[in-house]
Amino acid sequence: MKFINRLRPLLVACLLFPTILLAQGNTVPATGGLTLEQCVDYALENRAAVEQALLDEQIGNRQIRANLSGWYPEINASFGGSYNIKPQQFPVGDQIVTSAQRYSSNLLFEANQNLFNNDLLLASKAARFSRLQLEQQITNTKINTVVEVSKAFYDILLTQEQHRILLVNLERQEKQYNDARSRYEVGLVDKTDYQRAAITLANIRSDIKRAQEGLKAKVAYLKQLMGYPIENNLELAYDYTQMEQAVLVDTSEVVEFANRIELQQLQTQRQLLELNTAYNKWSFLPTVSAYINYNAQYFSSTDLADLYNTAFPTSVVGLRVSLPIFQGLRRFQNIRIAQLQEERLDVQIEDTRKAINTEYQAALANYKADLTDWRTLQSNLELAQEVYDIIKLQYDEGVKAYVDLVVAESELRATQINYYNALYNLMASKLDYQRALGNININP
């Protein structure tokens, strides 16, 4: 009951103020550590590049609507007034006639409606492809976000693991340094053993400092990619066992060019260029519009105050047809330019297909090579640990020299670090291979 009583104020607050819960949808995840999936999902919602792409889509949609607004009627109003300092006069027989009033004014209302316009027709047909182009740009940005965030995540894990290995080595080296100094003080060995241990100890501490500083920069980079608040701590959650199980992919899969967003964007651009060519071919068609106006005119020959006493209105409704007859061969040149632009894009599409194939082959080769390196270092790590344990035991028994122990320890440390380097390279190669296939998942 006490637990329920403690929860009652919170439940009441949730019922009375549900917006408090909704407002927390954009807050930083309050977890002990973010997994890779959570980092990627957060980046897809908050990264600056993604937000800019979404804003570009909104801007593009507004531009499309602005281009299509020409199909709606346009209504304009204008007002004018004039004072004739010297009205025009001309003789009629024996009399001098004044042709204009001293004061005049008019108020004009006019409405125009486009009935057929080649520019508006092009805008109407291109709207669908323009929207598709904006969506594809968002997809491309999200694909890059998934790959870049994942690589930055793995890079931090690599540095953290290197730091952990160095700390373990530091603890072990400090013990060896103390043992070597104690042996020297009792006269069992000369001072070179603990001097070598001191040198190794100093090198390890330097490596630890370098790893710590490098980790700060890598965490800042991941925060930037994610759009994560710089004042908040970023803790990562990971399981190396799961990572090792997730390194394998199907290397027999063949690249499907249609899955690549780069080619999809070029195909959309190709359709827009086809519309542009058709537009130039049909540029000889007339522009047709209807209009109606109402013009109220006011005149006074004596006093400005009497100008608006009487109105002389006129109203007209009509049809305008504008037909281009000769444009100095500009239409022919525009058509040829549009056709050449299509040909140029065809060359780019074919070159992009070849580039994608090269990227796929390189990514597959790198993945296979990194997989071999990782498996080799797996077995090397076990051997290096076994060699170190044996030499350490032999050194403790006085069979091996201290220099042999230093070499074995250096080899073990290098093998450990190389193993995690290989694991990071393998995960990065896997991402490159999946991107080359067009298999990057961008749906949270």
CA atoms of 138 and 56, how far apart (whole Å): 9
- CATH code of the domain in which 295 resides: 2.20.200
CA atoms of 288 and 320, how far apart (whole Å): 6
Of 297, 322, 347, which one is at a domain's C-terminal end?
322
Same domain assignment for residues 182 and 308: no
Same domain assignment for residues 124 and 63: yes
- pLDDT on residue 229: 94
1 pLDDT more than 50? no
- pLDDT on residue 99: 67
Same domain assignment for residues 189 and 317: no
Give the tokens for residue 93.
């027989």
Answer whether residue 23 is part of any domain: no
Nearest by Cα to 71 from 125, 28, 30, 23: 125
CA atoms of 430 and 424, how far apart (whole Å): 10
CA atoms of 157 and 215, how far apart (whole Å): 9
If you average pLDDT over residues 44-59, what whole number do you get?
A: 95
Residue 382 domain boundaries: 32-72+118-286+326-437
- pLDDT on residue 26: 44
Same domain assignment for residues 233 and 318: no
If you average pLDDT over residues 102-116, what whole number do you get?
A: 92
If you average pLDDT over residues 240-262, what whole number do you get?
A: 85
pLDDT in tens, 307-335: 888 888 999 999 999 988 887 788 889 99
Same domain assignment for residues 218 and 308: no
pLDDT in tens, 56-102: 999 999 999 999 999 999 999 999 988 888 777 777 777 776 767 78
With bands split at pLDDT 50, 70 and 90, how would you rate the model's confidence at 225?
Answer: very high
Answer whether residue 15 is part of any domain: no
Of 304, 322, 340, which one is at a domain's C-terminal end?
322
- pLDDT on residue 89: 72
Q: Which residue has the higher pLDDT, 29 or 124?
A: 124
Backbone angles phi, psi at 227, to 5 degrees: 75, 30
Same domain assignment for residues 96 and 171: no
440 pLDDT more than 70? yes
- pLDDT on residue 21: 33
Mean of the per-residue pLDDT values for the chain? 85
- Residues 164, 204 contacting (CB under 8 angstroms): no
Q: Which residue has the higher pLDDT, 30 or 19?
A: 30
CA atoms of 107 and 294, how far apart (whole Å): 8
Answer whether residue 252 is part of any domain: yes
- pLDDT on residue 32: 61
CA atoms of 137 and 264, how far apart (whole Å): 10
Amino acid occupying residue 171: E
CA atoms of 214 and 392, how far apart (whole Å): 32
Nearest by Cα to 275 from 64, 123, 71: 123
Answer whether residue 267 is part of any domain: yes
Same domain assignment for residues 279 and 291: no
Nearest by Cα to 101 from 112, 85, 116, 114: 85
Answer whether residue 89 is part of any domain: yes
Answer whether residue 337 is part of any domain: yes
With bands split at pLDDT 50, 70 and 90, how would you rate the model's confidence at 296?
Answer: very high
- CATH code of the domain in which 58 resides: 1.20.1600.10
**How many percent of the chain have pLDDT more than 70?**
91
CA atoms of 348 and 355, how far apart (whole Å): 10
If you average pLDDT over residues 405-419, what whole number do you get?
A: 86
Same domain assignment for residues 175 and 110: no
Answer whether residue 225 is part of any domain: yes
With bands split at pLDDT 50, 70 and 90, how would you rate the model's confidence at 183?
Answer: confident
One-character DSSP codes across 48-96 = HHHHHHHHHHHHHHHHHHHHHGGGS-EEEEEEEEEE-SS--EEEETTEE
Split into its structural domains, the chain has a count of: 2
Same domain assignment for residues 201 and 229: yes
Between 192-226 and 118-185, two packed helices, what is the crossing angle to 10 degrees?
Answer: 160
22 pLDDT more than 50? no
